[in-house]
């Protein structure tokens, strides 16, 4: 499947103020272009001391603007025109000095003029701080950052870690791929703003003894994509996941569990205060009835030990029975008769929506095909990458919530 250009058709203005983190801005320009965006770079005089406009032009494919007196615009007003067709303006790095300018409405260079003159209602301002840890912690900087947030800017980071000065602490600019994803998220419609969403993901592991257990091939990728898409849509997202090795989506609260019982005991207290519950996890239906404290070893008899099974709690059905239940979405990973099995699960669990897929065809893959099954009928979401499908599912959920309201 071809790579998805998540910023296809978007125009991003990338502003650089002075700081050693300008080297990351070069990679950010490259990442934005790879994601399909057109990128216009604007640099302060200080930024040009760290990375050249020639470098940024080569990576963005566009001539770089550095001066408010640039005469390439017919009316000599680049501070007006450069953001009029922009979908977002991101300043990365944003130095302490530049943040102070923005907080106080100062505009003595092209980049600060752009930030002030941009059409704020349709061109969001994203700011990625980068500075020494003491500068970041200074009360003046913290006041300025809060003022930026109050004025509607989205402050990205900073991160903690090694700094160019040799010190360690808060103040590092986020990495290029993190900033790219923040830009993508900022441009997603906020369909679930103000909503709380609980997602389960991955397999469960039902221990037989200290080294063996019953599990399945679920990678957790679909559930993690749903969590990311819900967060992008403005929701407060909690992700409860079984044993998987996936990075946590940014701004998502993650709780790791192992067994179905642990997932059940974690989900139930949380579910009552959620607006939406998406049960993506491939929860084991059965677990060993007893747990061996030591590894079960061969005894030379050539006969396998008897393994008695007990039924696991049904997490989705339990949430659906809550007096103040959230909007429940179940997943059905089937091997055959997808529509019929998904519809049977819809009725058995008493939920409004089941999302079906053929498990062996999608476990571990980055793409999927989904079948939406509800009381009215069935609708297929064609093959796509899992994040694209997750965003489509979030859109579907938001429409259904609106209809219920």
Same domain, 258 and 348: yes
Same domain, 218 and 158: no
What would the pLDDT profile of 244-290 be if each residue is shown by its tens digit?
999 999 999 999 999 999 999 999 999 999 999 999 999 999 999 99
Same domain, 239 and 133: no
For 366, residues 6+ apart whose C-beta sits below 8 A from its C-beta are: 1, 221, 385, 386
Same domain, 172 and 27: yes
- Please report how many Cα atoms fall inside a 13 Å half-sphere around the Cα of residue 132, on the Cβ side: 7
Mean pLDDT of 160-181: 91
Which entry of 22, 165, 241, 328 is annotated as an active-site residue? 165
The answer as to whether 191 is a domain residue is no
Please, which pLDDT band fits residue 167 given cuts at 50, 70 and 90?
Answer: confident
Please, which pLDDT band fits residue 1 given cuts at 50, 70 and 90?
Answer: low
Residue 328 annotated among the catalytic residues of the structure = no
Lowest mean pLDDT segment, chosen from 36-40, 142-146, 261-265, 331-335: 331-335
Query: Where is the domain boundary, 186, 212, 247?
Result: 186
Same domain, 384 and 314: yes
Query: Where is the domain boundary, 137, 165, 186?
Result: 186
The answer as to whether 211 is a domain residue is yes
CB atoms within 10 A of CB 350: 12
The answer as to whether 227 is a domain residue is yes
What would the pLDDT profile of 327-379 be if each residue is shown by its tens digit?
999 998 878 888 888 999 999 999 999 999 877 777 778 888 899 999 999 99
Same domain, 202 and 252: yes
Q: How many domains, in total, are found in the chain?
A: 2
Same domain, 163 and 219: no
53 Cα distance to chain centroid:
31
The answer as to whether 3 is a domain residue is no
CATH classification at residue 117: 3.40.50.1950
Mean pLDDT of 227-232: 97
Which residue range(s) make up the domain with 331?
196-293+303-404
Cβ-in-10-Å burial (0-12, 13-18, 19+) of 167 comes to exposed
Same domain, 240 and 121: no
């Amino acid at each position: 499947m071809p790579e998805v250009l998540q910023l296809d058709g978007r125009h991003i203005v990338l502003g650089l103020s002075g700081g050693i983190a300008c080297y990351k801005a070069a990679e950010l320009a490259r990442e934005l272009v790879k994601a399909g965006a057109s990128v216009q770079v604007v640099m302060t005089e200080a930024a040009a001391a760290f990375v050249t406009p020639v470098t940024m032009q080569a990576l963005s494919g566009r001539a770089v603007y550095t001066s408010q007196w640039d005469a390439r615009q017919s009316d000599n007003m680049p501070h007006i025109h450069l953001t009029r067709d922009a979908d977002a303006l991101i300043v990365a790095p944003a130095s302490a000095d530049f943040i102070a300018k923005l907080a106080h409405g100062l505009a003595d260079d092209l980049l600060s003029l752009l930030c002030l003159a941009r059409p704020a209602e349709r061109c969001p301002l994203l700011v990625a701080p980068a500075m020494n840890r003491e500068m970041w912690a200074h009360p003046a900087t913290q006041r300025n950052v809060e003022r930026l947030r109050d004025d509607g800017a989205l402050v990205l980071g900073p991160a903690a870690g090694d700094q160019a000065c040799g010190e360690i602490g808060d103040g590092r600019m986020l990495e290029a791929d993190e900033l790219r994803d923040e830009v993508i998220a900022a441009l997603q419609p906020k369909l679930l703003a103000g909503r709380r969403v609980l997602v389960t993901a991955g397999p469960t592991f039902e221990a037989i003894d200290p080294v063996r257990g019953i599990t399945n091939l679920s990678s957790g990728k679909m559930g993690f994509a749903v969590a990311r898409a819900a967060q992008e849509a403005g929701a407060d997202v909690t992700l409860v996941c079984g044993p998987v090795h996936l990075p946590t989506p940014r701004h998502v609260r993650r709780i790791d569990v192992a067994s179905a019982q642990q997932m059940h005991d974690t989900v139930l207290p949380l579910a009552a205060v959620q607006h939406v519950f998406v049960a993506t996890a491939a929860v084991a239906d059965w677990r060993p009835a007893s747990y061996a404290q030591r590894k079960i070893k061969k005894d030379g008899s050539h006969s396998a030990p008897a393994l008695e099974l007990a039924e696991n709690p049904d997490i989705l059905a339990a949430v659906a029975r809550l007096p103040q239940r959230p909007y429940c979405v179940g997943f059905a990973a089937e091997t055959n008769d997808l529509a019929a099995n998904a519809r049977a699960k819809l009725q058995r669990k008493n939920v409004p929506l089941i999302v079906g897929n053929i498990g062996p065809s999608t476990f571990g893959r980055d793409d999927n095909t989904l079948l939406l099954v509800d009381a009215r009928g069935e609708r297929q979401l064609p093959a796509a990458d899992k994040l694209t499908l997750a965003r489509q599912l979030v859109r579907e959920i938001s429409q259904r919530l609106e209809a219920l309201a």
